[in-house]
A and B are shown apart, each in its own frame.
Chain A
Amino acid sequence: MKNEKNKVLLNIGAIILLFIVLWFCNSTFDNYKLRILNLSGIYVVLALSMNLINGFTGLFSLGHAGFMAIGAYTSVLLTMDPAMKQMNFFLKPIVPFLANIQLPFPIALICGGIMAGFVAWIIGAPILRLKDDYLAIATLGFGEIVRVIFTNTQSFTNGALGLKGVERYTTIWWSWGIAAITVVFMVLLVKSSYGKAFKAIREDEIAAESMGINLFKHKVTSFVIGSFIAGIGGGLLGHLIGTIDPLMFRFLMTFNILLIVVLGGIGSITGSVVSAVAVTFLLEQMRFLDQAITIGSLELPAVPGMRMVIFAILLMSVILFYPKGLMGREEFEWDKLFSGYYIKRFKVRKKA
Chain B
Amino acid sequence: MSFSIFLQHLANGISLGSLYALLAIGYTMVYGILRLINFAHGEIFMVGAYIAFYLMTASFLALPWWLAALIAIAATILFGILVEKFAYSPLRDQPRISVMISAIGASFLIQNLGIVIFGGRPKAFPVPDIFSQIWKIGGVSIVSITFYIPIITLILLTILLYIVNKTKTGMAMRAVSKDYEAARLMGISVDNIISFTFAIGSALACFGGIMWGFKYPQLLPVMGLIPGLKCFIAAVVGGIGDIKGAVLGGFLLGLMEILIVAFFPALTGYRDAFAFILLIVILLVKPTGLMGQNLTEKV
Contacts and interface: CB of A to CB of B under 8 A. Distances in A.
Interface of A: 54, 60, 126-127, 130, 132-134, 136-138, 140-142, 144-145, 148-149, 151-152, 206, 252, 255, 258, 262, 266, 303-306, 308-309, 311-313, 315-316, 319-320, 323
Interface in B78-111: 87, 90-91, 94, 96-98, 100-102, 104-106, 108-109, 111
A142 B276 CA distance: 7
B96 A151 contact: no
Contacts of B221: 305
Contacts of A262: 101
Given A144-B276, A315-B101, A323-B98, A130 B283 contact: yes
Given A127-B280, A138-B280, A316-B87, A309 B104 contact: no
A16 to B, nearest CB: 37
Contacts of B105: 312, 315-316, 319
B37 A144 contact: no
Contacts of B101: 258, 262, 315, 319
Contact of A309 (B91, B97, B109, B283): B109
Contacts of A151: 269
B96 A309 contact: no
B20 interface: no
Contacts of A315: 101, 104-105, 108
Contacts of A152: 269-270
B232 interface: yes
Nearest to B97: A60
Nearest to A151: B269
A156 B113 CA distance: 37
24 contacts: A126-B280, A127-B280, A133-B96, A134-B287, A141-B275, A141-B276, A144-B272, A144-B273, A145-B273, A148-B269, A148-B270, A206-B299, A255-B108, A262-B101, A304-B116, A305-B113, A309-B109, A312-B109, A313-B109, A316-B106, A319-B91, A319-B102, A320-B90, A320-B91
The A interface, classified by DSSP as helix, strand, loop or mixed, is helix
Given A258-B104, A262-B101, A319-B105, A148 B273 contact: yes
Given A126-B284, A127-B280, A306-B116, 16 more contacts: A60-B100, A130-B283, A136-B37, A144-B272, A144-B276, A145-B276, A149-B273, A152-B269, A304-B116, A305-B120, A306-B112, A308-B108, A312-B112, A315-B105, A319-B105, A320-B87
Interface of B: 31, 35, 37, 87, 90-91, 94, 96-98, 100-102, 104-106, 108-109, 111-116, 120, 221, 229, 232-233, 236, 269-270, 272-273, 275-277, 279-280, 283-284, 287, 299
A137 B114 CA distance: 24
A258 B281 CA distance: 26
A206 B236 CA distance: 25
Contacts of B233: 137, 141
B113 A255 contact: no
B106 A309 contact: no
Contact of B94 (A142, A312, A323): A323
A138 B116 contact: no
Nearest to A259: B105
Contact of B279 (A54, A137, A255): A137
A136 B35 CA distance: 13
A311 B276 CA distance: 27
Contacts of A320: 87, 90-91, 102
A158 to B, nearest CB: 14
A152 B111 CA distance: 26
A142 B109 contact: no
A133 B275 CA distance: 17
A148 B114 CA distance: 25
A149 B35 CA distance: 31
Contacts of A316: 87, 102, 105-106, 109
Contacts of A142: 276, 280
Given A132-B96, A319-B105, A320-B91, A141 B280 contact: yes
A266 B101 CA distance: 12
B91 A308 contact: no
Nearest to B272: A148
B97 to A, nearest CB: 6
Contacts of A306: 112, 116
Contacts of B97: 54, 60, 132, 266
Contacts of A130: 283, 287
Contacts of B37: 133, 136-137
Nearest to A306: B116
A327 to B, nearest CB: 16
Contacts of B120: 304-305
Nearest to A123: B280
Contacts of B279: 137-138, 141
A145 B277 contact: yes
